[in-house]
Structure 1
C-alpha cells in the first residue's frame, strides 16, 4: 500500500481536533479584497462563497448583482466567467453557459483590474476562454496553469490558494498517480485550514481530495464540518456524503442528502437544479444498502415525476442511474431486461451517452441472466455505439467504463451459452478495468460492480472460495455494500 494510503486512528483523531468547527454565519463566507464599490464588493464576496460551494447558478446571479452595482467592477465579470464552467464536474459546459462565460471574458478584456491579485485571477479566467484551445480539456488545463500562477503571484491570498488546489484536483491524472496528487493537494489544504478554518472552499476541496479509497479516512474530519460551514447550500450539504459513501456510513449519507435535496428544491426556480437529482441518487444508493428498497423506490418515483429537471450531466446521471439501481441491486433481472429505451423527457440524452449506457447495460445484463441472448446482444451493439460516441467526444473515462459494461454483458452471454471459461475471462477483464478506472464523484457507486458480478459468476459455477474472494475485494473498495455482504453470509 502506498505511504499516502491512510492515517492511523491516532492521526485521524489529531486531525479532527485540528479542524475547527465553523462558528458563525458571518464566518461562513469569504472576503476577497477588490477595487469595486462597496455594494459590488459585498456581492463579489457572496458570489465567491457560492462559487467555492459549487452553487454555480446562484454564484452567477450574485456576480451579476455586483456588475449592476458597479459596471467597472472587473471581479464581477471574472466571477460570471468562472461560474460558467465547473472544473470538477464531469461533462462540459452547455452552449448557453459557454456563451455567457465568453461574453463575460470579452467584457473583462476591456476592463482594468484594480490590483495585482485581481489581474492574476482575471488572467486565469481569460485563459479558459482563449480562442486557440482545442476542446474542453485544453481549456481546463490552460485555466489550471494560470490559476497556479495566480497563487504563486499572491501566495498569501486564501482564495487564490484554494482555487489553485481546485485546479490541481481538476487536472490530476488517472490511476495511482491521481492518489499521489490528491494526497499532496490534501496536505496543502490541511495547512490552509489551520490558517482559515471556516473557509468553505478549503473544506470543500479537501473532501474532493480525499474522495478515494486510499485517502478516505483523511476526509472524515472535513465531512463532519462542511454542512455547518454552508448550511443552506445544497451542494455543501451533499458533499460530506462522498466520504460517508467511501466508508459505508449509509445513515449519515442519507441524512445529508435528504437535507441537500430539500435545499435544492427550496432554491430552484423555473427548473429543478441538478443538485436535487444528484442527492436523490445518493439517497437511493444508501437506502438500498440498508435494505430499504421501498423507500428507495419512492424516491425514484418522486424524482421521475418531476418534468422540469435541469438539463445537466449531474441530473442526467441520476435520472438514468437510480431506476437501474433499483432493479440490479435487487436482482430483478427480468424487469431490467424489459426496460424501455425511452428515458426522462427533460434530458437531451444525445448529449450524455455515458448515462444512456447504464440503461443498455441493465437491459443487456438482465437479458443475459434470464437467457435472452438476442436482447443481450442487441444491448452490446448499442453499448458499442455509445462507447464510440464517448471516444469521439473525448470522454475516455466513461468510454473505458462502458467497455467494461460490454465485457460484462458478453461474459454473461457466454455463460448462458455454456462457455464457462470464456465467461470468466471476460468478467475478470471487466472487473480489472472497472477497478482501475475507479468511481467518478458523480456517482455513489457503479450501478452494479463488475467484481461483485464476478463473485456471482464464480458462485454459479460452483467455485465458492473464489467467489468469496471477489466479494471481499468488492467490499475493500465499497465498504458495507449489501449484496456483497449478503453473499458472504
Structure 2
C-alpha cells in the first residue's frame, strides 16, 4: 500500500547531468555505435560499454578466452536481474565456444527469478527446465567441458529446475547444493554471492528477522569489503536490508550501486528501495527517472517490444512525484502512458505487463488527486 500523500513543496527539475546522470546519458549512447572523440574512434558498442557499466567481478572459467568476455558480461547482468540481456550474453558465449559448459549454466540460472522480479514465474520455471534439459543432453553426449568447480554449479542448477519438484522444494535443494559448494570453495566470491541469493529466495526467509538478515548480510558484506564494485554484493545487500528496520544499514550500498552499474535499469532503480524507507523522496524520483530512461534506451537499441520497458520504475517515480506535490510531472507520466498505449496498438505488439502497470498507475494518480 502506498502511504498518504504529504504536502511537500514541488522540487524543481530533474537530476542535473553530472555524476550518475552523466553516466546514464552515456548508456543512452549505446544505441549510437562508434563515436569520434578528439579525432579518435571510440568503441561504445553495447558489449564494450557495458563491460565498464555493470560493475566488476572475477570469475575464471574453463571457456575459451574469446567466450570469457560475453560470459562475464552475462554474469554481471545477471547480478542486476537483467535476465534478458544476460541470456543474450550467455548465448553469445556459447556460440563462440560450443563446448563451454558454464555458458549453458548461465542460460539456465537466468531463469531463476530468485526474488520474483519477473511476473511470469511459471513461464520462467518451464524455460529453466528446458535450458537444463538442453545442457544435460549436451553433457551426456560429451560435448561440454567443465572443471570440478563448474560441475558443482551445474549440479546445483539441476536441482533448481529438477523435474517433478515444486518451486519451493527446488529452491531448498538448490540452496543446499550451493551451501555445499561454498564449503568446498570458501574463498570464491561468486559462489558466496550466488549462495546468499539462494538463501534469500528460500520460502520463509524473513527480512524482518535479525538472524535471517545477519546470516545472509554477513557473507555479502565480506564480499563487498573485498570488492566495492561487485554488483551482486551491492544489489543483494540492498534487498536484504529492504525494510524499515534495516534500511539505514543499506544506505552505503544504495549510494554506490547505481554508480557502478548504470547500464542496468534495475540497478538504477534499486537504491530507491532504501531511499523510500528513509523518506528521501527526491532521491527516489531521481533513481527511477534514470531507471526508466535506461530501460527505454535498451528497449530501443535491442528492438524489443514496448512492454519490455521498466514500468515498475515509472510507477515508483509517479509515487515520488505525488508525495512531493510535483503534480505536473505526475501528469506527464499519465500522458506518456497514453502515448505508449497508442504506439503498442499501432505496432500490433502484445501489451504484456504494460496493461496492468498502466491501470495501476492511472488508478493511483486518480485516487491521489481526489484526496
TM-score scaled by structure 1? 0.58
Within 1, Cα distance between the matches of 2:362 and 2:83? 27
Asked if 1:103 corresponds to 2:130, the answer is yes
Q: May I ask how many residue pairs the two structures share in their alignment?
A: 306
- How is 1:193-204 mapped onto 2 (pairs within 5 angstroms)? 193-204=224-235
Q: Secondary structure at the match of 2:163?
A: coil
- In structure 2, the gaps of 5 or more residues are 1-50
- How is 1:52-451 mapped onto 2 (pairs within 5 angstroms)? 52-89=79-116, 93=120, 97-109=124-136, 110-111=138-139, 112-134=144-166, 136-171=167-202, 173=204, 178-268=209-299, 269-272=303-306, 274=308, 276-306=310-340, 307=344, 308=349, 311-312=352-353, 318-331=357-370
Q: What is the deviation of 1:328?
A: 2.4
Match of 1:46 in 2: 73
Larger radius of gyration: 1
Q: What is the deviation of 1:91?
A: 6.4
Alpha carbons of structure 1 residues 95 and 174: separation in structure 2 relative to 1, 3 Å: closer
Within 1, Cα distance between the matches of 2:178 and 2:335? 42
Within 1, Cα distance between the matches of 2:207 and 2:85? 35
Q: Secondary structure at the match of 1:214?
A: coil
Q: For the Cα contact (< 8 Å) 2:54–2:262, is it kept in 1?
A: no
Within 2, Cα distance between the matches of 1:152 and 1:175? 24
Q: Higher helix share goes to which structure?
A: 1
Within 1, Cα distance between the matches of 2:152 and 2:334? 45
- In structure 1, the gaps of 5 or more residues are 1-23, 333-489
Within 2, Cα distance between the matches of 1:318 and 1:140? 28
The structure whose RCO (Cα within 8 Å, separation 6+) is larger is: 2
Within 2, Cα distance between the matches of 1:148 and 1:304? 48
Within 2, Cα distance between the matches of 1:103 and 1:276? 26
Q: What is the deviation of 1:266?
A: 0.7
Q: For the Cα contact (< 8 Å) 1:120–1:153, is it kept in 2?
A: no
Within 2, Cα distance between the matches of 1:262 and 1:321? 20
Q: For the Cα contact (< 8 Å) 1:260–1:279, is it kept in 2?
A: yes
Within 2, Cα distance between the matches of 1:217 and 1:285? 21
Q: For the Cα contact (< 8 Å) 1:60–1:83, is it kept in 2?
A: yes
Instruction: State the Cα deviation string for residues 79-121 of structure 1 (Å, max 9, x = none).
Output: 1101123111256645654444223211322425522221111
Within 2, Cα distance between the matches of 1:214 and 1:151? 29
TM-score scaled by structure 2? 0.76
Q: For the Cα contact (< 8 Å) 2:175–2:199, is it kept in 1?
A: yes
Within 2, Cα distance between the matches of 1:310 and 1:220? 36
Q: For the Cα contact (< 8 Å) 2:207–2:240, is it kept in 1?
A: no
Alpha carbons of structure 1 residues 101 and 328: separation in structure 2 relative to 1, 3 Å: same
Pairwise CA RMSD of aligned residues? Answer: 2.4
